Structure 1
Amino acid sequence: MLATLAPVRSLLLAIFVMMAGSGFLSTLIGLRLERAGSDTILIGLVATAYFGGLTLGALRAGAIVRRVGHIRAFAAFVALLSASTLTYALVQHPLLWALLRLVDGVCVAGMFICVESWLNDRAEPETRGGILAAYMVALYSGQAVGQLFLSTGAATPAVPFQIASILISLAILPVCLTRSTAPTLGEADNLPLARLFAASPLGLAGAAITGLILGAFYGMAAIYARGIGLGLGAIATFMMTVILGGVALQWPLGRLSDRYDRRRVIITCFALALAVSVALAAAPGSGLLLLFGAAFGGLSFALYPLCVAHANDRLLPAERVSASGQLVLLYSAGAALGPLGAAAAMNWMGPGGLFLFIAACAAAMLGFSLWRLAVTAPVPAPAQQDFQMLPRTTPVAALLDPSGPEAATVKD
């Protein structure tokens, strides 16, 4: 395994450090805005700007990478993200911060595109699964570790932003010092949404609804946690528990979906996510809060790769990579709307409104899934594709999926 990862270790280190620096900014910015007295809707708007930037970057940043190359593009995205992060410490104004979050999203998407396309170029068919798993571990463990920096600003409010900027800046070193030759970024074909919906309405709707759920959580979870009385240390622990729970349950749930009708596993996950969200809306005590948080992370993080796998089961092999790219864009669009929906619910129902909004999304998708189960036949078990853990980052990540063709849908 170590030999498999040796050619990409610098890229994995870069993504870990980058996520450790940028992964806690959503939580930190939400808390700072809440402490300054900003309206919940305004906080949701700032969170939406970030996911809007991610979507824009996923669509447009590839052109920059193709024009100037991976290393220069990565350096430019890092420099801009680091500068943006320091600007939060200089001026606190919600509208400025919304603009900065838009810039942050574009930069993070650009960095993901650089790393994911590079990983894809270095991966061989027999090593692709191991590299994808290592990438997922580096990404989510970095995001989890970053939450620990939330409480560093107790004495000096600028310190968390300074730490984030330092870590983001350091992420450039493994990439700039690598001896690995940068690849040429191709363009992935786009599968028409009409064809994707005709093949897998459940996969398409599931990706979008999962975006609503996780966009709402990432954008507003800190406000929920503050609203139920948690301090900075407890908020960091809660966020880290949700992220680590998400990593822990993806693989077992995915293996289960390989053995049984995948739609039933998706339905079960949405049903359990609904139940857990209602429990979290009731603001349970600290012990149960972490337990429910880990369960919520495990169930909600698994939904996107489960929906992608279900869509792949119903597509031709040559369509799978481009379909996965479309699904991650649908996820991103949902994530951009999630914080605003959650903020409106929290304005109406208090902190627990976040998880009641998430429960409503899960309930709607549960009903749709049950209808699809009733009107369509299952894919025979031997015809199902193997489940793969997939990041919800950019369409380029779909190229890392070992179950799809490497070059059939990529044109130079």
Structure 2
Amino acid sequence: MFTAFNQVRTFLLAIFMIMAGGGFLSTLLAVRLENQGTAAPLIGLVGTAYFAGLTIGSMRIGRLIAQVGHIRSFAAFVSVFSASSLSYGLWQDVGFWTVLRFIDGFAVAGVFVCLESWLSERTDTHTRSLALAAYMAALYLGQAIGQFLLNIGQDAPVLPFMFSAILLSLALLPVVLTKVPQPEIGDLEPLSIRRLYAISPLGMLGTAATGLMLGAFYALAAVFVRQMEMSLSDVALFTSFAIGGGVLFQWPLGLLSNRFDRRRVIVAIFFAAAVVAVAIALFGANRALLFVLGGLFGGMAFALYPLCVSHTNDHIEPHERVGASGGLVLLYSLGAVAGPLVGSIAMAIFGPTGLFGTIGATASLATGFGLWRIYAAESVPDEDQSAFQSIPRTSAVALGEDEPTSEDR
């Protein structure tokens, strides 16, 4: 265990600092725009721009990294992200911030590919799961802690952006000074949508639905909390509770899926997420209950992506695994692009409860589709079901090429 950690500690520190410095920006921007009286669909557009940049970046930056190397590429991406975070303080305008969020998404995609391909290179079949778990813990911990930077901008509105730029700039140091050899990035060709659906309809649709749910949540949860007449500190706590719930629930639910039909576990979690989302919409005005429900929602929603990937892996050949993961990352990203737009339109029509009403409706539709798949197709035998692996919803390169086959398991 300690060997796996030591091999990637540089990257764990880097991703922690990057998420602490940049992970709260979506919440901060949503709050600032909401305070300014910006319409919900325009706030959703800003959130969509980030996921659009993330999607396009994940498909395009591999070639750039291959040309100039990981260290130069990482330094360039983080520098752009740092400069962009400072630029928000220059002019509070929806159009300007939309462009900056697209740039942020593109830069973050480069950061993810750089760090995760390095992580894959430094680990093998036996240590990769532990390294990925540590990587995700560092990512979510940084994102949760960073939310509390929301509270420092009351007297100096530009201060949170300055702290963001400082943390992002310091995140360069562990990587640019590392002596760890740089890996090579091969061409990653995602499996086609048609092929993914043929392999695993529930895995494909479940991934897209999860992207829509979490894309809407990340972009608009802060607006929901503020429109429920709660404070900026409550926004930070609610978001942190959701992220913390995601960390706490992911492994227990994953282990549960190893013991039972994974489709049934996925359907049960979608159903539970729908119930919790509706409960937030109905009882979100209760401050204490909101935090508890936020933790439960994060626990359900954050587990769905790795479960859908694991379910897809139950139906594919080992050599297709990285390509399938690339296709699922793309589907998740496309869902996340749509989520802020759909959620913001619902908020404009139904008020703040429209956000979690949309999330609940999406989870309910996924539940219905999953029940149909359970009825229409046989389950994978327990002995052929792949072991659950907690993986990030960021890029496919962290999986590497040497995952164990079913025979190894």
TM-score (norm 2): 0.97
Partner of 1:244: 244
Partner of 1:108: 108
Partner of 1:65: 65
Deviation at 1:52, TM superposition (A): 0.3
Partner of 2:6: 6
Partner of 1:408: none
Mapping for residues 56-205 of structure 1, pairs under 5 Å: 56-205=56-205
Q: Do the aligned residues in 2 keep the contact of 1:279 with 1:292 (CA within 8 Å)?
A: yes
Deviation at 1:194, TM superposition (A): 1.6
Mapping for residues 8-407 of structure 1, pairs under 5 Å: 8-282=8-282, 283-399=284-400, 402-403=403-404
Report how many aligned residue pairs link the two structures: 405
Between the aligned partners of 1:284 and 1:229, the Cα distance in structure 2 is 8
Deviation at 1:105, TM superposition (A): 0.1
Between the aligned partners of 1:249 and 1:233, the Cα distance in structure 2 is 24
Q: Do the aligned residues in 1 keep the contact of 2:125 with 2:404 (CA within 8 Å)?
A: no
CA deviations over 1:160-188 (Å, ceiling 9, x no partner): 01000110111100001111111111122
Deviation at 1:51, TM superposition (A): 0.3
Kindly provide the amino acid, as one letter, of the partner of residue 48 in structure 2. Answer: T
Kindly provide the amino acid, as one letter, of the partner of residue 236 in structure 1. Answer: A
DSSP-derived class of the 2:88 partner = helix
Give unpaired runs (5+ residues) of structure 1. Answer: 406-412
Between the aligned partners of 1:181 and 1:314, the Cα distance in structure 2 is 35
DSSP-derived class of the 1:89 partner = coil
Q: Do the aligned residues in 1 keep the contact of 2:207 with 2:308 (CA within 8 Å)?
A: yes
Kindly provide the amino acid, as one letter, of the partner of residue 127 in structure 1. Answer: T
Deviation at 1:38, TM superposition (A): 1.0
Closer/same/farther in 2, CA of residues 404 and 13 from structure 1, 3 Å limit: farther
Deviation at 1:402, TM superposition (A): 4.5
Kindly provide the amino acid, as one letter, of the partner of residue 313 in structure 1. Answer: D
Consecutive aligned runs of 4 or more in structure 1 exceeding 6 Å deviation: none
Between the aligned partners of 1:403 and 1:144, the Cα distance in structure 2 is 32
Between the aligned partners of 2:6 and 2:311, the Cα distance in structure 1 is 32
Between the aligned partners of 1:123 and 1:189, the Cα distance in structure 2 is 22
CA deviations over 1:306-329 (Å, ceiling 9, x no partner): 111111111112111210110011
Between the aligned partners of 1:233 and 1:400, the Cα distance in structure 2 is 43
DSSP-derived class of the 1:57 partner = helix
Between the aligned partners of 2:50 and 2:401, the Cα distance in structure 1 is 25
Closer/same/farther in 2, CA of residues 160 and 273 from structure 1, 3 Å limit: same
Q: Do the aligned residues in 2 keep the contact of 1:116 with 1:400 (CA within 8 Å)?
A: no
- 151-160 or 122-131: bigger deviation: 122-131
Kindly provide the amino acid, as one letter, of the partner of residue 64 in structure 2. Answer: I
Between the aligned partners of 2:41 and 2:190, the Cα distance in structure 1 is 34
Partner of 1:409: none
Q: Do the aligned residues in 1 keep the contact of 2:207 with 2:305 (CA within 8 Å)?
A: yes
Q: Do the aligned residues in 1 keep the contact of 2:121 with 2:400 (CA within 8 Å)?
A: no
Kindly provide the amino acid, as one letter, of the partner of residue 353 in structure 2. Answer: G
Deviation at 1:192, TM superposition (A): 2.4
Kindly provide the amino acid, as one letter, of the partner of residue 344 in structure 2. Answer: A
Deviation at 1:401, TM superposition (A): 8.7
Between the aligned partners of 2:20 and 2:117, the Cα distance in structure 1 is 21
Between the aligned partners of 1:368 and 1:4, the Cα distance in structure 2 is 39
Q: Do the aligned residues in 2 keep the contact of 1:250 with 1:301 (CA within 8 Å)?
A: yes
CA deviations over 1:280-327 (Å, ceiling 9, x no partner): 001241221111100000000011111111111111121112101100
Deviation at 1:391, TM superposition (A): 0.6
Deviation at 1:125, TM superposition (A): 2.0
Deviation at 1:235, TM superposition (A): 0.8
Q: Do the aligned residues in 2 keep the contact of 1:58 with 1:395 (CA within 8 Å)?
A: no
Partner of 1:410: none
Between the aligned partners of 1:190 and 1:389, the Cα distance in structure 2 is 20
Deviation at 1:400, TM superposition (A): 8.1
Between the aligned partners of 1:404 and 1:203, the Cα distance in structure 2 is 19
CA deviations over 1:109-140 (Å, ceiling 9, x no partner): 00000000001000022211111111111111
Deviation at 1:4, TM superposition (A): 2.4
Between the aligned partners of 2:200 and 2:124, the Cα distance in structure 1 is 29
Between the aligned partners of 1:249 and 1:225, the Cα distance in structure 2 is 23
Between the aligned partners of 1:227 and 1:403, the Cα distance in structure 2 is 48
Give unpaired runs (5+ residues) of structure 2. Answer: none
CA deviations over 1:238-289 (Å, ceiling 9, x no partner): 1000001001101000100110000110110011111000000012412211
Between the aligned partners of 2:228 and 2:167, the Cα distance in structure 1 is 31
Kindly provide the amino acid, as one letter, of the partner of residue 59 in structure 2. Answer: L
Between the aligned partners of 1:126 and 1:146, the Cα distance in structure 2 is 32
Deviation at 1:42, TM superposition (A): 0.4
Kindly provide the amino acid, as one letter, of the partner of residue 176 in structure 2. Answer: C
Superposition RMSD in Å: 1.3
Q: Do the aligned residues in 1 keep the contact of 2:228 with 2:285 (CA within 8 Å)?
A: no
